[in-house]
């Protein structure tokens, strides 16, 4: 999957990964991770970030916005909702780890208004 280097991640779109596509690793994974400093790469396998909110309703509304992004991109993260917090975890099942799709999705989630 080729990304457009001149276009911000948040403005790109997820694409299906071909069978046998390797998960991102090493310098390539580190490059994408540097573009999203608020997200953590965990065990070299998935991206994770926690968002804080003043109450449950705000956190739930943010989950709804994430859901709309995930449906549009056809790339669905794991979401943990609690009072005043949302934890998002994403990886690409078909590659068994991270793909550019995960970084695109994370950038789009970061760009979602945190009303």
User: No. of H helices and E strands in the chain?
Assistant: 3, 4
* pLDDT the model gives residue 1: 58
Task: Indicate the pTM of the whole model.
Answer: 0.93
* pLDDT the model gives residue 18: 86
Indicate the SS3 state at residue 86: strand
47 touches 103 (CB < 8 A): yes
* pLDDT the model gives residue 19: 79
* pLDDT the model gives residue 5: 72
Block means of pLDDT (10 residues each) for the chain, 115 residues, are 77 90 95 95 96 96 97 97 97 95 97 72
């Amino acid at each position: 999957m080729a990304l457009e280097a001149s276009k911000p991640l948040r403005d790109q779109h997820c694409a299906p990964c071909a069978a046998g596509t390797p998960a991102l690793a090493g310098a390539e994974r580190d490059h994408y991770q540097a573009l999203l400093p608020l997200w953590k790469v965990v065990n070299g396998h998935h991206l994770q970030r926690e968002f804080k909110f003043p109450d449950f309703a705000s956190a739930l509304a943010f989950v709804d916005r994430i859901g709309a992004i995930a449906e549009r991109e056809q790339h669905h993260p794991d979401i943990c909702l609690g009072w005043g917090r949302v934890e998002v975890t994403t990886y690409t099942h078909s590659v068994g780890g991270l793909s550019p799709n995960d970084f695109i999705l994370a950038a789009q989630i970061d760009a979602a208004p945190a009303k």
